[in-house]
């Protein structure tokens, strides 16, 4: 299977703890996106990378959140001092960069479901 | 900022029948894409169909077709010959060409298919 993978699939943590999620994109994709999906809502954009550069961050991404994509391959999303409001599904997606007027599909991973108790 | 609205939180359809899911959006951009994504229970989101705003012809993919009304900013999805496997959350999404090309999603709609 060469799709987007995410680990862990589920994470339960206590408020105040730090958590880290990993996303492995499709190998030839140079763009990687993080979205957050809360219950009853559609996914919301958090941040994206082109290769190893983080090019945009949403205002949803407070300073407790940090994302990296070393060497332009896998990415990690860390949440420090978790709060109950951080409970959500964290989705990763990857794609090729657009070329001319061609926009490429974003392929999604299965997500990491975070529960903060 | 762009917004996407799906006003129907749930719908149901009988197997083999046709159902239409509605979506409206708001934008001042001229170059954009619209998408319908499907998210089955406990499974990852997959693309159902896409529409480029500059194309007048409505997109079709097998049993799935869209009715794109650019002036009305409406983008509905028609599923013909509904199958049990079509049961899922359906999300309408918008993307501005250029820049980050991040997706802006609606709240989603739960489709139930009755045998």
Chain B residues with CB under 8 Å of a chain A CB are 4, 31, 33, 37, 43-47, 50, 91, 93, 95, 97-108
Low-confidence ranges of chain B (pLDDT < 70): none
A103 and B97 within 8 Å at the Cβ level: the answer is: yes
To the nearest 10°, report the CA torsion of B57, B40, A29, A114.
Answer: 140
pLDDT given at position A1: 54
* B51-66 pLDDT per residue, tens: 999 998 999 999 999 9
A101 at B interface, C-beta within 8 A: yes
**Res B100: pLDDT:** 81
pLDDT exceeds 90 at position A103: no
The CA–CA distances, whole Å, from A116 to A18, A65, B29, B41, B58 equal 10, 15, 38, 22, 44
Q: Is A44 close to B105, i.e. CB distance below 8 A?
A: yes
Check CB contact under 8 Å for B102 and A48: yes
Which residue of B101, B106, B108 is the best one to mutate when testing the A interface, meaning the one whose CB has the most A CBs within 10 A?
B101
Q: Is A72 helix (H, G, I), strand (E, B) or coil?
A: helix
Q: How far is CA B53 from the centre of its chain?
A: 14
What's the mean pLDDT when you consider all of chain A? 94
Nearest by Cα to B106 from B51, B39, B61 = B39
C-alpha span between A28 and A107 (Å, rounded):
12
At residue A1, the 3 state secondary structure works out as coil
Read off the pLDDT of each residue in A84-92 and give the average, rounded to a whole number. Answer: 97
pLDDT at A7 over 70: yes
Q: How many angstroms separate the CA atoms of B108 and B93, rounded?
A: 9
Residue A26 has what pLDDT?
A: 95
Distance CA A84, CA B65 (A): 40
B91–A43 C-beta distance less than 8 A: yes
Asked if B106's CB is within 8 angstroms of A4's CB, the reply is: no
Q: Are A107 and A96 in contact (CB under 8 A)?
A: no
Q: Chain B closest CA to A109's CA: distance in Å?
A: 6
Which residue among A33, A40, A105 places its CB closest to the CB of B102? Answer: A33
Query: Residue A87: how many CB atoms within 10 A of its CB?
Result: 17
Instruction: Give the residue among B4, B102, B90 at the shortest CA–CA distance from A60.
Output: B102
Mind listing the pLDDT tens digit for each residue in A16-33? Answer: 999 999 999 999 999 999
Beta-ladder partners of A72: none
Percent of chain A with pLDDT over 70: 99
Both tokens assigned to A11: 């994470």
């Amino acid at each position: 299977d060469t799709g987007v993978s995410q680990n862990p699939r589920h994470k339960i943590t206590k408020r105040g703890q730090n958590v880290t999620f990993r996303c492995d994109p499709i190998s030839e994709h140079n763009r990687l996106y993080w979205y957050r999906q809360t219950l009853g809502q559609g996914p919301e954009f958090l941040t994206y990378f082109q290769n190893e550069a983080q090019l945009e961050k949403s205002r949803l991404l407070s300073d407790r959140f940090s994302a990296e994509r070393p060497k332009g391959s896998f990415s990690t999303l860390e949440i420090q001092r978790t709060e109950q409001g951080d409970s959500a599904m964290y989705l990763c997606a990857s794609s090729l960069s657009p070329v001319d007027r061609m926009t490429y599909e974003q392929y999604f991973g299965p997500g990491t479901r975070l529960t903060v108790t | 900022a762009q917004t996407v609205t799906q006003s129907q939180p749930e719908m149901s359809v009988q197997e083999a029948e046709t159902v239409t899911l509605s979506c409206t959006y708001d934008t001042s951009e001229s170059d954009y894409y619209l998408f319908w994504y499907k998210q089955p229970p406990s499974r990852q989101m997959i693309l159902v169909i896409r529409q480029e705003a500059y194309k007048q012809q409505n997109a079709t993919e097998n049993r799935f077709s869209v009715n794109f009304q650019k002036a009305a900013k409406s983008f509905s999805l028609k599923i013909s010959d509904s199958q049990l496997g079509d049961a899922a959350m359906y999300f309408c999404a918008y993307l501005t060409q250029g820049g980050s090309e991040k997706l802006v999603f609606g709240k989603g709609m739960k489709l139930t298919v009755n045998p």
